[in-house]
Amino acid sequence: MRPEFADALERAGHGEQLTKNDLITLLNADKDESRTLFEAADQARANTLGDEVHFRGIIEFSNHCMKNCLYCGLRRDNQKLARYRLKPEEIIEGARETARLGCRTLVLQSGEDCYYSADMLGELIVKIKEELDLAITLSLGDRTKKDYGLLKKAGADRYLLKHETCDADLFSYLRPGTRLEERLERQVWLRETGYQVGSGNMVGLPGQSLETLAGDIILMREMGIEMAGIGPFIPGKQTPLAKASGGSLELSMKTLAATRLAMPGAHLPTTTSIASIHPQGRVKALQCGANVIMPNMTPRQYRASYMIYPGKLGLQDTPEDSYKRAVKAVNDACRTISRGHGHSLKYEKAV
């Protein structure tokens, strides 16, 4: 083991703040060092958050998107994709199923689809909150400050808006017409509006280095991010990045583990992308820092069309199948299922 590697781990163990160089050292871990890194992250997760895994049921309610991100199958120029939108009643039915199965959080995710106005979504959120004891996370992409406010007022608790990469040039290349700075400004709005804020990044993007990944982690820590979705980039045939090589399981796990050490109290999901590149992906993620799992609650008939990337887990599943699959991963990792809403630690302390 390199001395600087041992030193970084030891300082993390004492609760010291890791520097960018420390994180690069951790991300550079060889096979043996990786084992130690994963154990340290697992221990940090157990110390700060315990053994419980929070279930967040996700309904992907629309695959329409006005943006044209180079890495994503939902991009506007992908004309091969059959587009769908769930009706409000279908979303409510999905929310009922999510609660019935035992999830305490519902994630409503879509492409950037202005068909659903903030008023329309707000009405939906009010109805769900009246009927069901669910925390609500929104993942709707870039909206106006006013929209974020309306949705918060309606009862939404959290918002996921990933920064994707901290490299501003790479960001604008991958997300044409948008800038990292504006994305981060939105994260600030969300925080100011009272949301628990989630971010995250992809691992293995073309042009990304270990230094970029370390920068991603530092950025999230500086932004006071409470949840971070980290997973491998998976190239899709119907995107301009079809020929790129994707992110590996190993580097995704190292990034997750390093994030856990840098942000010990954050909620870190085992992303569907990590589950999609390896059959044991979720179990492995749970064992190197993750404490959240996101079973897919999208009705089966729409799943194949929410094709952000190919080979996505559970395309033939019903919501119940997906829930059971998540339970199995938690059992396989010898962990327990949380019965609470799984709010962020910052939120828990404030109430």
273 binds, among ligand 5AD, ligand SF4, none (CB under 5 to 8 A by kind): ligand 5AD
Check binding of 65 to ligand SF4 (CB under 6 A). yes
26 binds, among ligand SF4, ligand 5AD, none (CB under 5 to 8 A by kind): none
Is residue 61 helix, strand or coil? strand
Complex with ligand 5AD: residue 99 or 202, whichever CB lies closer:
202
Selected from 51, 112, 317, 332, the binder of ligand SF4 by CB under 6 A is 112
- Interacting partner of 99 out of ligand SF4, ligand 5AD, none (Cβ under 5 to 8 A depending on kind): none
CA-CA-CA-CA dihedral for 44, 47, 49, 54, to nearest 10: 70
Q: Bridge-partner residues for 267, per DSSP?
A: 227
Radius of gyration of the chain (CA): 19
Partner touching 148 among ligand 5AD, ligand SF4, none, CB below 5 to 8 Å by kind: none
Q: Is the dihedral of CA 52, 57, 63, 67 positive or negative?
A: negative
Q: Which of 8, 40, 41, 74 binds ligand SF4 (CB under 6 A)?
A: 74
Tokens standing for residue 134? 């669910």
Nearer to ligand SF4 among residue 67 and residue 127 (C-beta): 67
Compute the least distance from the CB of residue 71 to ligand 5AD, in Å. 4
The whole-angstrom separation of Cα 133 and Cα 147 is 23
**Pick 37 or 81: Cβ nearer ligand SF4:** 81
> Contact between 289 and ligand SF4 (CB under 6 A)?
no
Question: Residue 200, interface with ligand SF4 (CB under 6 A)?
Answer: no
Which of 19, 43, 52, 67 contacts ligand SF4 by CB under 6 A?
67
Angle between helices 31-49 and 3-13 (to 10 degrees): 10
State in angstroms the smallest separation of the CB of 112 from ligand SF4.
5
Q: What separation in angstroms does the CA of 121 have from each of 86, 109, 187, 311? A: 12, 12, 20, 30
Neighbours of 50 (CB within 10 A): 12
- Kindly state the smallest distance separating residue 238's Cβ from ligand SF4, in Å: 12
CB of 3 to ligand 5AD, least distance (A): 35
Distance CA 197, CA 288 (A): 22
User: In the complex, what is the shortest distance from the CB of residue 153 to ligand 5AD, in angstroms, rounded to a whole number?
Assistant: 25
The DSSP code for 83 is P
Contact assessment for residue 178 and residue 67, using Cβ atoms and an 8 Å cutoff: yes
User: Which residue type occupies 328?
Assistant: K
**Residue 235 touches ligand SF4, criterion: CB under 6 A:** no
42 vs 39: CA distance, rounded Å: 5
Q: Which is nearer to ligand SF4, 34 or 273 (CB)?
A: 273
Shortest distance, position 160 Cβ to ligand SF4, whole Å: 11
Burial of residue 311 (CB within 10 Å: 0-12, 13-18, 19+) is exposed
Least CB distance to ligand 5AD at residue 311 (A) = 10
- The interface partner of residue 202, options being ligand SF4, ligand 5AD, none and the CB cut-off 5 to 8 Å by kind, is ligand 5AD
Question: Rounded to whole angstroms, how far apart are CA atoms 340 and 351?
Answer: 14
| Residues within the interface to ligand 5AD (CB under 6 A) | 71-72, 162, 164, 202, 231, 233-234, 236, 273, 308-309
Residue 69 binds ligand SF4 (CB under 6 A): yes
Which window, 42-50, 65-73, 80-88, 281-289, contacts ligand SF4 (CB under 6 A)? 65-73
Find the Cα–Cα–Cα–Cα dihedral 56, 141, 258, 342, rounded to 10°: -30
By a kind-dependent CB cut-off of 5 to 8 A, residue 141 interacts, out of ligand 5AD, ligand SF4, none, with ligand SF4
